[in-house]
Structure 1
Amino acid sequence: MIPFTQDLGAFFATAYGGIAIGILFDLYRAFKNNFNILKIFSLFYDVIFWLLVTGLVFITINVIESFDLRYYHFIALFIGFLIYYNTVSKLILRVLNKLIKSIIYIVKQILVNIGKISVNLYYVIIYSIHFLFDTIFYIPNLLISIFKFLKIKSCKLKKVKSKI
């Protein structure tokens, strides 16, 4: 038979597992509040939450009692969850919501700045290529036109001088 103190230690350790489930529940609520764009995401969040909770319960019971499941494990999980939910859950949920909103704001700002840099880089490249083509094609054509104009003017001057 297991001594009472060992059972009491297992009870409190399982209650900490209930507190961890409460933290996961607040994470679930925070993500659902901030990222629930489509109803299909709600189903996704539900499945992920319950898979994590199930894994956490199994890990907690395995670490504490090596899967020697007793009724008080479920009571301790429930009591741990209630203690967490009634004491610090509102504070943690507010902090998580602010943290998620801050991260979303930072990511949006980074993406906006990347977009602005991309547009400016695009214009720098396009105007450089435009200047290069102007230099290659326009200036020689301009010089050729000037030489033709000067040649025509010089021919007219020669004709005028020859008539005089």
Structure 2
Amino acid sequence: MGFFVEDIGIFYLTIYGGIVIGLLLDFYRALRSNFKIVKRISFVFDLIFWILITSVIFITINLLERFDLRYYHFVALFLGFILYYNTISKYIFTLFNKIISFITSLSKKTIHYIVSFLNNLYYIIIYSIHFIFDIICYIPSILLSTKRKRKKKKGVGA
């Protein structure tokens, strides 16, 4: 009787592994729907997704049974995934979409503000250097040219 209860407990814990697989699938679907780059190189992201799924299964089986693989592990993983997908998947998917769109919008605004700040800082620095250059170069030359004109006027009028 003890082994049966233990197997039932492991079965339920393996169902949680299926739920985690469903969460990863919804996160991946949200990434694909929000970013064009994920659609363009989907082979790479599919490979990464399946590596993550395999590692979730690997970790689940390792933690629960020390690699004593039984058929009900696959049944429980599938059952957990189906339970998740048919109950709360659409809400989690919507939540992931909102989180991803919020993060992307926030990062775009942050980058925009940083770029505009740096652009304004650039013009402040350039105009300051230009002003200093004017003070150093043009004002003395203007003073010298007005001094020469005064000497010419004095010399012409005498």
TM range (shorter): over 0.9
Q: Greater shift after overlay, 79-88 or 36-45?
A: 36-45
* Percent of aligned pairs with the same amino acid: 51
Secondary structure of 1:69's partner? coil
Question: What is the root-mean-square deviation of aligned Cα atoms in Å?
Answer: 1.4
- Is the Cα–Cα contact under 8 Å of residues 34 and 101 in structure 1 kept in the other structure? yes
The correspondence of residues 80-99 of structure 1 with structure 2, limited to 5 A, is 80-99=80-99
Q: TM-score, normalised by structure 2?
A: 0.95
Post-superposition Cα deviations, 1:106-164, rounded to whole Å, max 9, x if no partner, equal 1100111111111111111111111111111111111111111111222233x2xxxxx
Aligned AA (1:91): Y
Match for 2:84: what amino acid? Y
2:32 aligned counterpart, secondary structure: helix
- Opposite residue 121 of structure 1, the aligned amino acid is L
Give the TM-score taking structure 1 as reference length.
0.91
How is 1:66-145 mapped onto 2 (pairs within 5 angstroms)? 66-145=66-145
Q: Match of 1:162?
A: none
Distance 2:37 2:102 in 1: 18
Correspondence for 1:37: 37
| Structure 1, unpaired ranges of 5+ | 160-164
Q: SS of 2:68's equivalent? A: coil
